[in-house]
Structure 1
Amino acid sequence: MRSAGFAWAGIAHAYRTQANFRIEVWAGVLATTLALLLHAPLSPILLSCALVLGLELVNTALEAVVDLASPGLHPLAKVAKDTAAGAVLLASLGALLVGLAVLGPPLLRWLLP
């Protein structure tokens, strides 16, 4: 149970300190709400949200460790941070495509009866 408390502390820290994490959380809430309202499949939406948010947490953790290990500018620190950010970007683009594929058709049917 203590480890779950530590995990929630990490999530809360990311929510408090990382603007992108907050944006991604609320984008996930919006996508999930739309899926529920449109009776669209929830699984792809929830899995995409979990992937994006999980990678954002890993990115935040990696940035903290890199900053601790290399407070100054270092080319390898930049590579580590940029690569982790790239993983979040790819997951976000994938989540967007999943959202369009899952939510697009029922949304169009609702908008254009």
Structure 2
Amino acid sequence: MEPRKPHFVRRRLNNFGYAWNGIAAAFRSEFNMRWHVLSAGMVVALGWYVGLSATEWALLAFAIGLVWMAELFNTALEVVVNLVSPGRHPLAGKAKDIAAGAVLVASMTAVVVGLLVFSPYAAQFFQKLR
């Protein structure tokens, strides 16, 4: 008799657990991932302090998610490249550089979004100082 498959809901919950394990592994092993999480925390705290609108929160959430997603893909790609090409190889380096470039593009996009969202609040703050 074949072993019984876990129930549909149990399998879905297991998938969330696997995904969480991946995020946690990236957080533990990658300095840049920890930096992205810290930066996101500071942005959320500042957003809470200035009282962002729902649209502004949505823009920031999208930007933060974009950066985290790019960093997770970059980390996964680096792990796979290291597995299949433990030594130095020009194509392995190129793949890693391209993935790192994707993180840079996502990060710069997030910076632009952050500047667009927070600049009116900064202008208002500095106007009060005058």
Question: Normalising by the residue count of structure 1, what TM-score does the alignment of the two structures yield?
Answer: 0.95
Residue 29 of structure 1, CA deviation: 1.0
Does residue 1:69 correspond to 2:81, yes or no? Answer: no
SS in 2 for 1:82: helix
Instruction: Structure 2: give runs of 5+ residues left out of the alignment.
Output: 1-12
**2:108 paired residue among 71, 93, 98:** 93
Two-structure CA RMSD over aligned residues (Å): 0.9
Q: Indicate the residue corresponding to 2:49 in structure 1.
A: 37
Between Structure 1 and Structure 2, how many residues are aligned?
113
**1:55 paired residue among 62, 67, 70:** 70
Equivalent-residue separation in structure 1 for 2:65 and 2:46 (angstroms): 17
**2:30 paired residue among 12, 18, 22:** 18
Equivalent-residue separation in structure 2 for 1:8 and 1:111 (angstroms): 41
Contact 1:52 1:92 in 2 (8 A): yes
Which amino acid in 1 is paired with 2:23? I
Residue 108 of structure 1, CA deviation: 2.4
Equivalent-residue separation in structure 2 for 1:98 and 1:28 (angstroms): 13
Q: Indicate the residue corresponding to 1:107 in structure 2.
A: 122
Contact 1:24 1:52 in 2 (8 A): yes
Task: Please say which structure displays the higher CA radius of gyration.
Answer: 2
Identify the structure with bigger relative contact order (alpha carbons < 8 Å, sequence gap 6+): 1
Per-residue Cα deviation, 1:69-112 (whole angstroms, up to 9, x for no partner): 00011111011100000000011001001001101111221243
Does residue 1:79 correspond to 2:94, yes or no? Answer: yes
Contact 1:38 1:107 in 2 (8 A): no
Instruction: Structure 1: give runs of 5+ residues left out of the alignment.
Output: none
Question: Normalising by the residue count of structure 2, what TM-score does the alignment of the two structures yield?
Answer: 0.83
Percent of aligned pairs with the same residue?
A: 42
Moved over 6 A (4+): none
Which amino acid in 2 is paired with 1:18? E
